[in-house]
Structure 1
Amino acid sequence: MSDETSPATDDGVEALRLTPLDAEHRALGATMTGFAGWSMPLRYTSDLTEHQAVRAAAGLFDLSHMGQISVTGPEAGRALDLALVGNISGLAVGRARYTMICQPDGGIIDDLIVYRTCEQEFLVVANASNATVVTAELQQRCTEHGVDGSVGTGTEDPAGPEATTTALVAVQGPAVAGIVGGLVVEDDRAALEALRYYACTRARFAVDGGTVEALVARTGYTGEDGFELYVAAADAVALWRSLLAAGRPEGLVPAGLACRDSLRLEAGMPLYGHELDRTTTPHDAGLGRVVKLDKTDDDGAPLPFVGREALAARGGSEPSRVLVGLQGLGRRAARHGHEVRRPGSEHRVGVVTSGGPSPTLGHPIAMAYVTPEVSAVGTELAVDVRGRAEPVRVVALPFYRRPD
């Protein structure tokens, strides 16, 4: 994922934006790193410990760097139908949808989650590195189509680009329902318990000194059950501390970006800048299902959303490459950019997009784009890992599914 532009200090050195929880991370001893223009926790203890805690109990993540874009107005749903590949106007209030914003040629600008929080209000969540671009694209596309709507960011504070008005924390893992539910005030508990996957509701949380309200979404990026909580920046520390205190007896730990990446890789979830980019269409990534060609205008004609023509043609053609899972048969892990070859050959048949050791499965795993003739499950291939051919086998995605 490429970094977005950061503000510069007086001496010309780029200054990283700080989330409302920055001091909490440092007090917990986190190793901090620059990511997409933000200072973010990479890890608190070890990548393995945090990864295993999320799989066994729960992890608490700060995701305040993600782009939060509001689209409001009487035609907000229609605006998003025209701007994105999904059917957004059909979303019921309190529901969410995974979708994408594409170029006219079908290339992916970003993958998004859109929440319908009110009848005329949507929250679009973008990758941190693409937040500025996505906001500008949405503004332009609404204007071009003459749609009555307002596009704005929910994260940037009038005090300056380094400040934020909204924080985002995620609680992920099999123990989350009890941890999060135990903090919700009694009057809101039934709504939380009824919350389905890819749905959202507002709830109040008991914290030291009172209550705070958050938009609670049952979404995540780890392959586990989880909640993502959107809360006012001024309330973020109180909510973070309360979640840590409530979750620690259940095995919850604060978790950083490193284990978030290994968790999403095991779950076979794409990452922008790796599996997705502007040279890749949703069909290339095996995500053609998110493209809704059956969207129509008020007269029943096909809705001319950006990229429609190219994606319609692409959906009916044979793929030139296929995204597959690779199980490492040796000990050395393939990494992003490593070439995939036929065994005993120098002929390249693909490239690794993401890879690393799998703490849960105990062997290396990777995702890669390969040519169709070598994409069948069970095909034996090799990856060039620093000049050495490492044997791999094509396997189905995802690598890991949480137990029922």
Structure 2
Amino acid sequence: MTPTTETPLKRTPLHAAHLRAGARMVPFGGWDMPVQYAGVKAEHEAVRTRAGMFDVSHMGEFRVTGPDAEAFLQRVTTNDVTKLRPGRAQYNWLPNDAGGLVDDIYVYRVADTEFLLVVNASNIEKDWAHLQAHAAGSEVQLSDESGDWGLIAVQGPEAGALLQPHTDVDLGAKKKNAFFSGTLLEFPVLFARTGYTGEDGFEVFVKAGDAEALWDRLVAVGLTPAGLGARDTLRLEAGFPLYGHEFAEDLHPLASTYAWVVKDKEHVGRAAIQAAPPVRLIGLALDRVPVREGYPVLLGGETVGHVTSGSSSPTLGHPIAMALVRADAASADAYEVEVRGKAHPARRMDLPFYKR
């Protein structure tokens, strides 16, 4: 037999804190990440009703600077980067030439000629190569700062109230998608009023070397650690797509409900994205049986698509799913989802399933 070696899982700066807390660790996109601490339902409910925090330090950070920084990002993304003022953030897409997505990202404008990009952890190397290729010939400098940052997402209706006594910034005065510097529990940080849960909150960028100490102090002031399990059920309820599930290199992104991310401008893959998508993303609700990615979606006994994400919804009290179905079959009110050879009724629901 030929010996094989597995690539070791990468660890975030908070890895030791997760182990101390008794987190159940799982591989995720090449990283050793906490899937849960006290339990997915308890962590989900903490975020919906009070406040929780997530380790999202595995995400990648790229800095883009130079005289052509704005023009470069305007060309390689679908949203209108020119609308961003310094101190503002924007959800955006990196399209490929065929009309699929290299990634979905966040763009933060630091200054007139300086931006920070946050990209999905599993796509860091691919995104870096894509941006480098398109930067050729432009007066733009790219730097990969992914190893420099810890990133903690503090989410929930009480997130601001719990953080406010410990920072020098008036958090309540900051609007959604604001991006600003400050101190938190005496650590210098960058705040972004963004998130991925359907709740209010702040994503906190901190130097990697300070991340563990900050995390421990946030636990001490009452924030509940939450893992990937709760992060997934929260984003599913909020109807947020996940790269690799609802978005991919070979999926038309306008199958989703995010057409607003594509503005009328010249950009990579523009002609292909303008073509009508052959499938549509829909929401489904079931009475009892949870469904998972890949399960067939049926209409009139015919397979018309598949589940992209599914779980039981702690907030709604029943299973929910997002599914990609043929465009000509996307307007029905009732479907079935096949689970282990048996078809289970599913009713169409508008996305998002949950909105505060």
Same fold (TM over 0.5): yes
Match for 2:234 among 263, 268, 285?
Answer: 263
3-state DSSP class of the match of 1:286?
Answer: coil
Query: 1:6 aligns to what?
Result: none
* CA displacement 1:257-306 (0-9 Å, x = unmatched): 1110010000000001111111112212232221122x3xxxxxxx3x21
Secondary structure of 1:353's counterpart equals strand
Answering whether residue 342 of structure 2 is matched by residue 388 of structure 1, we say yes
* Structure 1 residue 375, shift from structure 2 partner: 2.3
Q: Distance in 1 between matches of 2:242 and 2:340?
A: 23
1:310 equivalenced with 2:272 (yes/no): yes
Q: Does 1:286 align with 2:257?
A: yes
Equivalent position to 2:283, from 325, 331, 345: 325
Match of 1:229 in 2: 204
Aligned to 1:218: 193
Rounded to whole Å, the distance in 1 between the matches of 2:271 and 2:327 is 24
Which residue of 2 is the match for residue 203 of structure 1?
182
Question: Alpha-carbon deviations, 1:224-268, whole Å to 9, x = none?
Answer: 11110011011112211221111x2xxx31000111001000000
Match of 1:349 in 2: 304
Q: Is the 8 A contact 1:375 1:394 kept in 2?
A: no
Give the structure 2 partner of residue 106 of structure 1. Answer: 99
Matches within 5 A, 1:4-403: 12-143=5-136, 146-155=137-146, 164-185=147-168, 189-190=169-170, 192-206=171-185, 211-246=186-221, 248=222, 252-293=223-264, 295=265, 303=266, 305-312=267-274, 314=275, 317=276, 319-328=277-286, 330-343=287-300, 345=301, 347-376=302-331, 379-402=333-356
What amino acid does structure 2 have at the position aligned with 1:150? Q
Letter in 2 for 1:382: E
CA distance in 2, matches of 1:275, 1:95: 26
**Contact conserved, 2:100 with 2:273, CA < 8 A, in 1?**
no
Q: Secondary structure at the match of 2:253?
A: coil
CA distance in 1, matches of 2:76, 2:231: 29
The 1-side partners of 2:273 and 2:30 are apart by 32
Deviations 1:365-392 (A, max 9, x none): 0000112343236x11100011111100
Gaps of 5+ in 2: none
Percent identical among aligned pairs is: 44
**Local SS of the residue matching 1:15:** coil
1:4 alignment partner in structure 2 = none
Shift of residue 93, structure 1, vs aligned partner: 0.4
Distance in 1 (CA, whole Å) between partners of 2:181 and 2:282 is 38
Alpha-carbon contact 1:282-1:291 (below 8 Å) kept: no
Q: 1:17 is aligned with what amino acid?
A: K
* Count of residues paired in the alignment: 354
1:174 Cα deviation after fit? 0.6
The one-letter code matched in structure 1 to 2:152 is V
> Matches of 1:381 and 1:173 in 2, distance apart?
33
Shift of 1:11: 8.0
- The 3-state SS of whatever aligns with 1:283 is helix
Aligned-residue RMSD, C-alpha: 1.5
Mapped contact 2:197–2:238 kept (Cα < 8 A): yes
After superposing on structure 2, the runs of 4+ consecutive aligned residues of structure 1 that deviate more than 6 Å are none
